[in-house]
Structure 1
Amino acid sequence: MLDMLLTRRSCRKFEGKAVESEKKEKLLQAAQLAPTGKGTRPWEFVVIENKETLKKLGDCRNPNQPFLPDTPLAIVVLGNTQKTDTWIEDASIASIVIQLEAEKLGLGSCWVQIRLRESNQGMSSEEYVRKLLGIPDHMAVLSVIAVGYPEGLKLKPHSLDEVDHAKIHTEAY
């Protein structure tokens, strides 16, 4: 796992190649196996591959997210606010699990924060995505995970030299 964390980097440029259905299924299976508080599993996912919808999804943030229209796959991560008060944590874990599974499958990914952000359409990012995708009120929109085959040069891996031991406290702060 540590090796994967060292090499995984956010990807904002994707090949035009579609993500195969088997890989898409593995991403969604991994997301649904993510741990949740008290096993509530409050997350749900909206899978987007339609180019017109992806183009509109690019306006979900201010400034816009120019890579979203060109990503072959976007997974919108939702949390059911009526199921638990830990939906943010649970949906966040599912979001990163999608990204780690993508890395394992040879795919690139990028997290687009939606919660507490503004769109370039004069409304919150969440309201914009909710209206675009017909998401009901009890489902909160946490993130959009863009997934695809990385295009271009791969960024250099992280290094263990980046680990800041001063941020580790033992027994007390």
Structure 2
Amino acid sequence: MPATIDTILSRRSIREFTDEKVSREDIERILNTARWAPSGLNNQPWKFMVIQNEETMEKLEGCTHYAKVIRSAPLLIAVFLDRETMYNHTKDVQAIGAAIQNMLLACCDLGLGAVWLGEILNQEEKVNLILSCPESLELMAVIAIGHPAKGSDSSPRKPRKNLKDICYEENCEKNWR
């Protein structure tokens, strides 16, 4: 199987990490994959904040039901939509989703674990205050990243819907196969 497809199919959300720090080189690799995501008109509507300060991370724990994940991670990357560079909200949010997926796949390839935290968006104002963000930035996600703790990827793989249940022929009258 081609390496990219293998990475996509083997990637898992990892929620427990060791104490080992993520190297600066790996952080740069992860961020580089994000900036190479496609975006409409190549506007690259994203901004990324690398968070490793323990005090900041402790404050962010209070913004999510997944405080344990944040507490375990040695690295967080907050992902924002830069409203000053956006031209179409939907297309730009889709581009940011592609950037996030690139980062998750890069983590997998680098032997790191990662999980996309979306529930934290419920506390966007509080997060933006903690991170001292300008009003032009709209929080899209926080990604927790680190070296996977032993056994953290051993849970059973969650099932996916069958193609016949989600894909249709062009006339939408017949399911795929």
Q: Please, what TM-score do these two structures have when normalized by structure 2?
A: 0.85
Amino acid at match of 2:166: K
Find the partner of 2:75 among 59, 69, 73.
Answer: 73
Moved over 6 A (4+): none
Q: Could you say which residue in structure 1 is the equivalent of 2:24?
A: 21
- Which residues of structure 2 form unaligned runs of 5+? 173-177
Structure 1 position 54, deviation (Å) = 1.1
- Count of residue correspondences: 165
Identity of aligned residues (%): 30
Amino acid at match of 1:131: L
2 CA distance for matches of 1:107 and 1:9? 10
Matches within 5 A, 1:92-111: 92-111=97-116
CA distance 1:137–1:159, shift in 2 (3 Å)? closer
What are the superposed Cα offsets for residues 79-120 of structure 1, whole Å, 9 maximum, x if unpaired? 1123222331121111111101000100000001157x42xx
Q: Could you say which residue in structure 2 is the equivalent of 1:48?
A: 51
Question: Computing the radius of gyration over CA atoms, which structure comes out larger, 1 or 2?
Answer: 2
Q: Could you say which residue in structure 2 is the equivalent of 1:121?
A: none
Matches within 5 A, 1:142-157: 142-153=140-151, 154-155=153-154
Structure 1 position 24, deviation (Å) = 0.7
> Over aligned residues, Cα RMSD in angstroms?
2.0
- Is 1:136 the counterpart of 2:134? The answer is yes
- My pick for the range that moved more, 142-151 or 49-58, is 49-58
What are the superposed Cα offsets for residues 93-151 of structure 1, whole Å, 9 maximum, x if unpaired? 11111101000100000001157x42xxxxxx110111001111111000001110000
1 CA distance for matches of 2:47 and 2:169? 37
CA distance 1:158–1:5, shift in 2 (3 Å)? farther
1 CA distance for matches of 2:117 and 2:159? 26
Amino acid at match of 1:68: I
Q: Could you say which residue in structure 2 is the equivalent of 1:2?
A: 5
Q: Is the 8 A contact 1:9 1:155 kept in 2?
A: no
Q: Is the 8 A contact 1:6 1:158 kept in 2?
A: no
Find the partner of 1:91 among 93, 96, 99.
Answer: 96
Where 2:148 maps in the other structure, the secondary structure is: coil
Find the partner of 1:39 among 27, 38, 42.
Answer: 42
2 CA distance for matches of 1:50 and 1:151? 20
1 CA distance for matches of 2:6 and 2:42? 29
- Which residues of structure 1 form unaligned runs of 5+? 119-124
Q: Please, what TM-score do these two structures have when normalized by structure 1?
A: 0.87
Amino acid at match of 1:96: Q
